[in-house]
């Protein structure tokens, strides 16, 4: 049976390798999966990925790739060589790009697709020429993403149910926008508690600031795990 702690991925949204490794060290007793995104990767490059992997932890490399199919495929190959467990691509790059990514990845690596960013609204979609609702656009992208072999989706917690209803258990769903009741929402507008997100069917929940900006990150994790086990 999967331990509930294995479903929590802590976002290492910090500026330096030192800060990232300090968090990993503090949390690694309970947490075995970390997310490295654009901020940390741009600052520290593959070295930080190797350093976190060397602790025995798993990595979600959240670079949200979006380029011509060949470039995306080569980047996915590089990530496979590094040994990360999960990478993200933008599904709006289209089927050919998605297929290039899923064909290039190592067999034990998951390629997750981003549908519509949580910062986008219907107005953002209109601006780029899409006259549809966010929900319809999410489903449209998810359908051709799944057909092109993506292993799962990064979604807002509010999209878990429609994605699960459409694709069943053959896809993984990783959500962000998670806030325990005691945490400051910050810029997250449509958030959900860890328990609600897991009950709605998320495979992974990505949590950043409620843990990383907490005065005692390890206590924040303990509190979340305690809430999930009661």
Catalytic residues: 64
The count of chain residues that interact with ligand C5P, using the rule CB under 6 A, is 14
Label residue 129 left, alpha or beta by phi (over 0 means left) and psi (-120 to 50 means alpha): left
Long-range CB contacts (< 8 A, 24+ apart) of 190-197? 190/118, 190/156, 190/157, 190/158, 191/157, 192/157, 192/158, 193/227, 194/8, 194/224, 194/227, 194/228, 195/227, 195/228, 196/157, 197/157, 197/160
Spell out, one character per residue from 181 to 200, where the chain touches ligand C5P: x when CB under 6 A holds, - when not: -----xxx------------
Residue 23 CB, nearest distance to ligand C5P (Å)? 12
Q: Which of 58, 166, 51 is nearest to 109 (CA)?
A: 58
**Cβ proximity to ligand C5P, 145 vs 206, nearer residue:** 206
Within 108-167, the residues that bind ligand C5P by CB under 6 A are 118-119
Q: With respect to ligand C5P, which residue has the nearer C-beta, 81 or 121? A: 121
Phi, psi of 69 (to 5 degrees): -50, -45
CB of 177 to ligand C5P, least distance (A): 5
Which residue in 69, 113, 152, 177 binds ligand C5P (CB under 6 A)?
A: 177
User: What residues numbered 202-221 form the site for ligand C5P, per CB under 6 A?
Assistant: 206-209
Alpha helices in the chain (DSSP H): 17-27, 38-44, 46-54, 69-82, 95-104, 122-127, 134-147, 160-167, 194-200, 209-212, 217-229
Tokens found for residue 21 = 């490794």
CB of 205 to ligand C5P, least distance (A): 9
Q: Does 11 bind ligand C5P (CB under 6 A)?
A: yes
Residues 22-51 that bind ligand C5P (CB under 6 A): 37
Is residue 19 close enough to count as binding ligand C5P by CB under 6 A? no
Query: Given the complex with ligand C5P, which of 11 and 100 has the nearer CB atom?
Result: 11
Residues at the interface with ligand C5P (CB under 6 A): 11, 13, 37, 118-119, 176-177, 186-188, 206-209
């Amino acid at each position: 049976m999967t331990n509930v702690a294995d479903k929590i991925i802590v976002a290492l949204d910090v500026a330096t390798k030192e800060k990232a490794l300090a968090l990993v060290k503090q949390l690694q007793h309970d947490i075995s999966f970390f997310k490295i995104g654009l901020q940390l990767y741009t600052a520290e490059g593959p070295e930080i990925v190797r350093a976190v992997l060397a602790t025995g932890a798993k990595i979600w490399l959240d670079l949200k790739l979006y380029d011509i199919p060949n470039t995306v495929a080569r980047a996915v190959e590089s990530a496979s060589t590094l040994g990360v467990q999960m990478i993200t691509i933008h599904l709006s790059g289209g089927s050919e790009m998605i297929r290039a990514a899923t064909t290039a990845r190592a067999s034990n690596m998951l390629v997750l697709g981003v549908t519509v960013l949580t910062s986008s609204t219907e107005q953002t979609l209109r601006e780029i020429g899409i006259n549809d609702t966010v929900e319809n656009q999410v489903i449209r992208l998810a359908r051709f993403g799944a057909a092109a072999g993506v292993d799962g989706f990064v979604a807002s917690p509010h999209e878990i149910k429609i994605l699960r209803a459409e694709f069943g258990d053959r896809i993984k769903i990783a959500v962000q926008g998670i806030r325990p009741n005691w945490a400051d929402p910050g810029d997250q507008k449509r958030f959900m508690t860890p328990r609600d997100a897991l009950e709605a069917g998320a495979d992974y929940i990505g949590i950043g600031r409620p843990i990383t900006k907490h005065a005692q990150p390890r206590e924040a994790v303990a509190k979340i795990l305690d809430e999930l086990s009661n």
